[in-house]
């Protein structure tokens, strides 16, 4: 799902959905659960298929449910809601720079909503002196749109 820009509700709203290949893997995990129970009979085979498949699908769905939104003068990322006034200038990170910031350049105090399957990101300094968080790192498929939404919210 691509980020959506709607004038009425939210200037930026993105869900970091899991790739399609992960759903195939979840289906294969369900099949594996059924095959493991196959020696016990047909009913355990169906039970193993359903239970393993459901658990794998729940895992993929929950991991891919992270959202990033800019709404009502705040950046909402995962569980965090940060007023735009407490943020510095956003920095668009290409794939190489994003990988560097989520590995060897990363600060353990930073707030990160990262997904390894999303190559690009945005890094935003936290300017609130009372907050020990140095920056916010957000994986995003459209970093320019996120930066534009943050700038628009800052000006409002």
My answer on whether 51 and 121 are in the same domain is no
Model confidence over 27-65: pLDDT tens digits?
999 999 999 999 999 999 999 999 999 999 999 999 888
My answer on whether 59 and 95 are in the same domain is no
Q: Is 89 inside any structural domain?
A: yes
Calpha distance 50→52 (Å, rounded): 6
* Sheet containing strand 111-113, strands side by side: 87-93, 121-126, 135-139, 111-113
> Number of folded domains in the chain?
2
My answer on whether 142 and 87 are in the same domain is yes
Burial category of 99 from C-beta neighbours within 10 Å (exposed 0-12, middle 13-18, buried 19 and up): middle
Q: Is 116 inside any structural domain?
A: yes
Report the predicted TM-score, pTM, of the whole model to 2 decimal places: 0.80
Q: Is 140 inside any structural domain?
A: yes
Model confidence over 56-68: pLDDT tens digits?
999 999 988 889 9
Calpha distance 98→119 (Å, rounded): 7
Burial category of 142 from C-beta neighbours within 10 Å (exposed 0-12, middle 13-18, buried 19 and up): middle
My answer on whether 30 and 82 are in the same domain is no
Domain that holds residue 122: 70-155
- Determine the pLDDT at residue 10: 54
């Amino acid at each position: 799902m691509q980020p959506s820009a709607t004038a009425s509700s939210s200037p930026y709203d993105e869900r970091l959905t899991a790739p399609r290949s992960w759903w195939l893997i979840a289906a294969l995990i369900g099949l594996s659960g059924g095959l493991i129970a196959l020696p016990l009979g047909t009913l355990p085979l169906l039970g193993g298929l359903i239970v393993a498949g459901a658990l794998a699908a729940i895992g993929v769905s929950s991991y891919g449910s992270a959202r990033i939104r800019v709404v009502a003068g705040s950046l909402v990322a995962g569980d965090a809601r940060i007023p735009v006034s407490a943020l510095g200038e956003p920095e668009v990170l290409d794939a190489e720079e994003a990988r560097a910031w989520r590995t060897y350049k990363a600060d353990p105090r930073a707030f990160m909503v990262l997904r390894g399957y999303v190559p690009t990101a945005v890094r935003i300094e936290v300017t609130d002196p009372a907050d020990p968080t140095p920056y916010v790192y957000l994986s995003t498929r459209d970093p320019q749109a996120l930066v534009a939404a943050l700038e628009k919210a800052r000006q409002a």
